[in-house]
Structure 1
Amino acid sequence: MKQNSRRDFIKKSSLSTAAILVGADRAFSQEVSIKKNAIPKWKGFNFLDFFSPNPANQREQTPEEFFKWMQDWGFDFVRIPMAYPSYIDFDRSKDISIEDVRNIDRAATDRVENLVYMAQKYGHHVSLNIHRAPGYCINAGFNEPYNIWTDQQAEDDFCYHWKFWAERFKSHSSKKLSFDLLNEPSWRDDMNDQFGKKTKLPGDVYRKLVLAAKTAIHEVNPKRLIVADGNKVGSKVTPELIDLKVAQSCRGYAPGIISHYAAPWVFKDTSNLPELKYPGQVGDQYLSKKMLEDIYKPWIELKNKGIGVHCGECGCYNKTPHDIFLAWFRDLTDILSENDIGFALWELKGSFGILDSGREDVDYEDWYGHKLDRKLLTLLQNA
């Protein structure tokens, strides 16, 4: 499909699906077909401008032309995972204290707001996500003063942050902005150990947090579209949330042996990893499209019940052989797309991205000084 006609198609599709997004609750109206996703099939990328808890370690600000390129390529979705300490004013030579957590730095939040506006300028729906919340993050590297699952103060501070963002973006419609509450909830035996055991949360514990945050947000704007990541690191549907009428977000990383092959933050020892095949036997499991269909069946069933479903993160680290990555990812995105579920690649530029990924087995195309993985871009466009 020619680029202009594809852009026209995306525009017309966006207009037709926008009708179901008059508000968060109406997005789940019974008027929507039982097979139709209650939220649009957004496709796009995560942007990591505020991903690090330490602003000194932040990436350079995303240049505006990235959002223009996305628009030209036919994408319409930007997810912004934020570490709350990145926009807090406190003494960074010490661990953050409970007293520090609400010291919001307005200059820092202005930068977040500017990124949101820049993405929206090019027609992208923005999903604002708290990746590191007061008392919880799936990643290590920062000492929290409490635990969000066991300490009421942590929950209260979490809601304080979301109420701040709700006020900040009060006038934005759910067509343009949604709130993805908490990245990849799970129970971690050791909150400071990246390799600590990660298990499924009791559903009522997760529901309590989601309900509290939803209440705080909807006190400001009752029409704000809210998304809750799946339980157990985003992998499991959370039935306890269905009656809350919030969308749910899955992940596109299964199986991890493909998506995170040789990733040093996942594998302590990368010297003994099995040879990858797709489809094929890898270790004790046979990797295939059928396996992926079984993994995503509960998410498809959830979508068919009228609950919005989106895949907030997906992709593959740059050590996986490119041909294996593309074969697996084509099956994964086909399953999502055929079931009206959108997705966001974990980053546009970087080791998971289509630009400057650092893969050693890609014939890159020069793209305004960047190295473009054209095969991956085409796969994403066709999904």
Structure 2
Amino acid sequence: MDRRIFIKNTSIAAAAGMTLPGGFALSERQVAKNKLPKWKGFNLLDFFGPEPDKQRKPTTEEQLKWMSDWGFDFVRVPIAYPYYLKFDRSRNITPEEVYSIDEKQVAKIDSLVTLAHKYNMHVSLNLHRAPGYCINAGFHEPYNLWTDEKAQEAFYFHWNMWARRYKGISSKKISFDLLNEPSMREDMNDQHSKRSAVPGDVYRKVAIGAQQAIRKENPNHLVIADGNNGGSNVIPELADLDIAQSCRGYHPGIISHYKAPWAMKEPDKAPEPKWPGQVGDQYLSREMLEKFYQPWIELVGKGVGVHCGECGAWNKTPHDVFLAWFGDVLDILTSHGIGFALWEFSGDFGLLNSRREDVAYEDWHGQKLDRKLLTLLMKY
């Protein structure tokens, strides 16, 4: 039999749960190929905050060279849209000012993209804060992305701008990650207010609108949608669209966000994490991770591209617990062809300068390198 025909028939048989001649059963894991490359890299937080004068130190060319030298090929750039706007910051922004683009600030984002491309990084641009929504508080939104047409129109405007700016760039080099960790909240300006998944039909409507705004500039642009309910849940309502999906490597939160005040109302009362082990009222184990990621693995099997856009743990998680848990997360994802991006490169979650109190850091050109974490990341 022709090899190509055999491979095609093999894939069809596996998807249908069939057994091949000779009695060989095929699992989805053996044949399912992720439509997205198994990129691995980091989130770069240069434009993460809404205030241009309150950003962290910019990512340097030297740092991008280190990433490349270590074998990484992907950077996700979370952007707060107010960062690149011109308006009176002494008061709350108005819906009209959401369209006031500051080319000087946009050019800084362009510069990082160009620099990352110099070191053969795929760049995924992400609106971490979009008009009418952000997983975090700290900037007063004038409307609600999920319920207000004006917010949706502004959302599409911003994505059309970015798509037009990178109209001639190959999808191998750039992608457009629509919105960081979508959820429906009672109060868009209170991150601790009651939260739930975005209704599927609403998410679909907004995603299609953004997709059309992007593909109007280049029909081959790569579009990615973060999982529903804060990035955790597969979005079945988008599975028939030409949109990839992005999961998270933060489960369970008691490990990844141990004592994080923005994630827990009473962080000082959080039970001490273990991996594996009993923590509070639940037993944490690799088995629970496999169950959590099964819907994402099945999504790959259905032909939808999947990537883990964020993963890692804050610096209060004991380092040995973090590495044991994170090794299981990465092993499960990458064994199914799903790449990942650590949140972040340099900072409290990062490979460099994480300020953990239980790490023997290696001096790396004046930076504090977590060598054990780097070794783990390079393994996958």
| TM over 0.5, shorter chain | yes
1:379 aligned to which of 366, 370, 376? 376
In the TM superposition, 1:93-108 aligns within 5 A as 93-108=90-105
Q: Deviations over 1:346-374 (max 9, x none)?
A: 01000000100000000110000010000
Larger Rg: 2
Q: CA deviation at 1:275?
A: 2.1
What's the counterpart of residue 253 of structure 1? 250
- Aligned length, in residue pairs: 351
Identity %: 64
What's the counterpart of residue 174 of structure 1? 171
2:317 aligned to which of 293, 317, 320? 320
Is the aligned partner of 1:147 residue 2:144? yes
SS of aligned partner of 1:357? coil
The whole-number CA distance in structure 1 between the counterparts of 2:79 and 2:268 is 33
The whole-number CA distance in structure 1 between the counterparts of 2:156 and 2:248 is 24
In the TM superposition, 1:226-241 aligns within 5 A as 226-241=223-238
Q: CA deviation at 1:267?
A: 2.1
SS of aligned partner of 2:239? helix
The whole-number CA distance in structure 2 between the counterparts of 1:271 and 1:307 is 40
The whole-number CA distance in structure 2 between the counterparts of 1:56 and 1:110 is 15
Is the aligned partner of 1:299 residue 2:290? no
Gaps of 5+ in 1: 1-32
What's the counterpart of residue 19 of structure 1? none
What's the counterpart of residue 5 of structure 1? none
What's the counterpart of residue 24 of structure 1? none
Q: CA deviation at 1:280?
A: 0.6
The whole-number CA distance in structure 2 between the counterparts of 1:92 and 1:272 is 37
2:328 aligned to which of 326, 331, 334? 331
The whole-number CA distance in structure 1 between the counterparts of 2:66 and 2:156 is 35
Distance 1:103 1:34, change over 3 A: farther
SS of aligned partner of 1:107? helix
2:70 aligned to which of 65, 70, 73? 73
Is the aligned partner of 1:89 residue 2:110? no
1:286 aligned to which of 283, 288, 291? 283
The whole-number CA distance in structure 1 between the counterparts of 2:31 and 2:52 is 44
What's the counterpart of residue 213 of structure 2? 216
1:159 aligned to which of 128, 135, 156? 156
1:132 aligned to which of 129, 145, 151? 129
Q: CA deviation at 1:34?
A: 5.6
SS of aligned partner of 2:268? coil
The answer to whether the Cα contact below 8 Å between 1:34 and 1:305 also exists between their aligned partners in 2 is no
The whole-number CA distance in structure 1 between the counterparts of 2:279 and 2:253 is 11
The whole-number CA distance in structure 2 between the counterparts of 1:142 and 1:96 is 9
Is the aligned partner of 1:270 residue 2:290? no
TM-score (norm 1): 0.91
Instruction: Return the letter of the residue paired with 2:372.
Output: K
SS of aligned partner of 1:307? coil
TM-score (norm 2): 0.91
Q: After TM superposition, where is structure 1 displaced by more than 3 Å over at least 4 residues in a row?
A: none
Q: Deviations over 1:257-287 (max 9, x none)?
A: 0000011212232322212211011011110
Instruction: Return the letter of the residue paired with 2:211.
Output: K
Q: Deviations over 1:162-192 (max 9, x none)?
A: 0000110001000000000011010011111
The whole-number CA distance in structure 2 between the counterparts of 1:196 and 1:49 is 28
Instruction: Return the letter of the residue paired with 2:317.
Output: T
What's the counterpart of residue 18 of structure 1? none
The answer to whether the Cα contact below 8 Å between 1:135 and 1:145 also exists between their aligned partners in 2 is yes
What's the counterpart of residue 12 of structure 1? none
Q: Deviations over 1:10-61 (max 9, x none)?
A: xxxxxxxxxxxxxxxxxxxxxxx96010010000000001000011111121
SS of aligned partner of 2:128? strand
Gaps of 5+ in 2: 1-29
1:49 aligned to which of 46, 50, 54? 46
Q: CA deviation at 1:111?
A: 0.4
Q: Pairwise CA RMSD of aligned residues?
A: 0.9
The whole-number CA distance in structure 2 between the counterparts of 1:354 and 1:51 is 18
The whole-number CA distance in structure 1 between the counterparts of 2:46 and 2:269 is 34
